[in-house]
Chain A
Amino acid sequence: MAATTVQAARPAALPEAAGQAGLRGTLASELTKIRSTRSTWWTLLALIVVTVGFGALASFGATRGGPRGPGFDATTHSLGGLYLGQLIIAVLGALVITSEYSTGMIRTSLTAMPRRSTVFAAKALVFGLVALVVGLITSFVSFFLGQAIMSSDHINASLGQPGVLRAVIGGALFLTACGLLAFGIGMMLRHTAGAITTAIGLLFVLTVLVQFLPQSWQDHVDKWIPALAGSQIWQVKPSIGGTPMFSAWGGFAVLAGYAVLALIGGLILFLRRDA
Chain B
Amino acid sequence: MIEARGLTKRYGTTTAVDDLSFTVEPGRITGFLGPNGAGKTTTMRLILGLDRPTAGAVTIHGKPFGQLAYPMREVGALLDAKAVHGGRSAYNHLLCLAQTNNLPRRRVGEVLELVGLQEVARKRSRGFSLGMGQRLGIAGALLGDPAILMFDEPVNGLDPEGILWIRNLMKNLAAQGRTVFVSSHLMSEMENTADHLIVIGRGRLIADCTVAEFIERNSQQAVRVRTPHGDELTKAVTAAGGTVRDDADGRLLITGLATAQVGDLAYDNGVRLHELASAQASLEEAFMELTGAAVEFRAQQLDSPGGTNAGPGSGPDGGQDQPVLTGGGV
Expressed in whole angstroms, the Cα–Cα distance for A1 and B27 within the complex equals 7
Contacts between the two chains (Cβ within 8 Å), count? 139
| B140 lies within 8 A of A3 (CB) | no
Interface of B is mostly: loop
Q: What A residues does B26 contact at CB under 8 A? A: 3, 7
Query: B221 an interface residue at 8 Å Cβ cutoff?
Result: no
Q: Is the CB of B92 within 8 A of A36?
A: yes
Q: Measured between alpha carbons, how far is A99 from B100 in the docked complex, in Å?
A: 19
Please classify the interface of chain A as helix (H, G, I), strand (E, B), loop, or mixed, using the class held by over half of its residues: helix
CB pair B177 A3 closer than 8 Å:
yes
Interface residues on B, range: 35 or more
> In chain A, what residue has the closest Cβ to B97?
A112
Near A by CB (< 8 A), chain B positions 57-107 give: 65-66, 68-73, 77, 79-80, 82-89, 92, 95-97, 99-104, 107
Q: Are A274 and B89 in contact (CB under 8 A)?
A: no
By size class, the interface of chain A is 35 or more
Interface residue A51 (Cβ < 8 Å from any Cβ of B): no
Per the bound structure, the CA–CA distance linking A25 and B50 in Å amounts to 20
Q: In the complex, which residues of chain A have a beta carbon less than 8 angstroms from the beta carbon of B68?
A: 114
List residues of chain B with CB under 8 Å of any chain A CB: 26-28, 45, 48-52, 65-66, 68-73, 77, 79-80, 82-89, 92, 95-97, 99-104, 107, 110, 140, 144-145, 147, 175-178, 195, 312-313, 316
Residues of A within 8 A of B (CB): 1-10, 12-14, 17, 19-21, 24-26, 28-30, 32-33, 36-39, 99-100, 103-115, 274-275
Given the complex, which residues of B lie within 8 Å of A26, measured CB to CB?
A: 99-100
Of B73, B88, B313, which one neighbours A36 at CB under 8 angstroms? B88
- In the bound complex, CA of A39 to CA of B126 (Å): 14
Bound CA–CA A6/B100 (angstroms): 29
CA distance A189 to B80 in the complex (A): 22
A221 to chain B, nearest CB (A): 40
Q: How far is the CB of B3 from chain A (nearest CB, A)?
A: 16
Task: Give A193 to B66 CA distance when docked, in angstroms.
Answer: 31
CB distance from A36 to the nearest CB of B (A): 4
A-B pairs with lowest CB-CB distance, top 10:
A3-B27, A104-B83, A7-B177, A6-B177, A36-B92, A20-B69, A29-B99, A13-B145, A113-B100, A114-B66
